[in-house]
Amino acid sequence: MSVKILMVCLGNICRSPLAEGILASKLPKDKFLVDSAGTGNWHVGKQPDSRSIATAKKNGLDISFQKGKHFTPQHFEEFDYIYVMDGSNFDDVLFLAKTEEHKKKVSRILDELFPGDNVDVPDPYYGLQNGFDMVYEMLDEATDLLAKKLIEKHS
């Protein structure tokens, strides 16, 4: 049975698709399933932002096949871990949690690098390409630690 990890941002077209692609590339596919969703439903069924796709491609990853999904309470039942990109995502996801067990599944992705500091992955949507590159670097570093931790815990 696979360990299931969900990456969550606002629209599921910029940060969480990158986080999904990066983490999935670092984990054995036979043991881990990585997916992503957004707290907003504006981009359901759409590809990631072209700048996210370009940044991923520049780093050897293809995320163009991903399709936007909306985060729902059902995700608490389906996933073992839920990683959010910022404080707003954190609050929105926790608001939908019905139990303490659900709440314990939710963490900020950058807590891997800065435990307890509540550091956000900035939303690059309204910026330029270099903002997406910066987000990639942050997520790459955080998922290095996260992948090691998950592999150790579930091997």
For the annotated catalytic residues, the residue numbers are 9, 15, 123
Distance CA 144, CA 132 (A): 18
B/e letters for 40-79, b = 16+ CB within 10 Å, e = fewer, are beebeeebbbebbbebbeeeebebeebebbbbeeebbeeb
Own/partner pairs for 87-95, CB < 8 Å, 24+ apart? 87/118, 87/120, 88/10, 88/39, 89/8, 89/9, 89/10, 89/39, 92/39, 93/8, 93/39
Instruction: Please report where in the chains the tokens 């881990």 appear, as a residue.
Output: 32
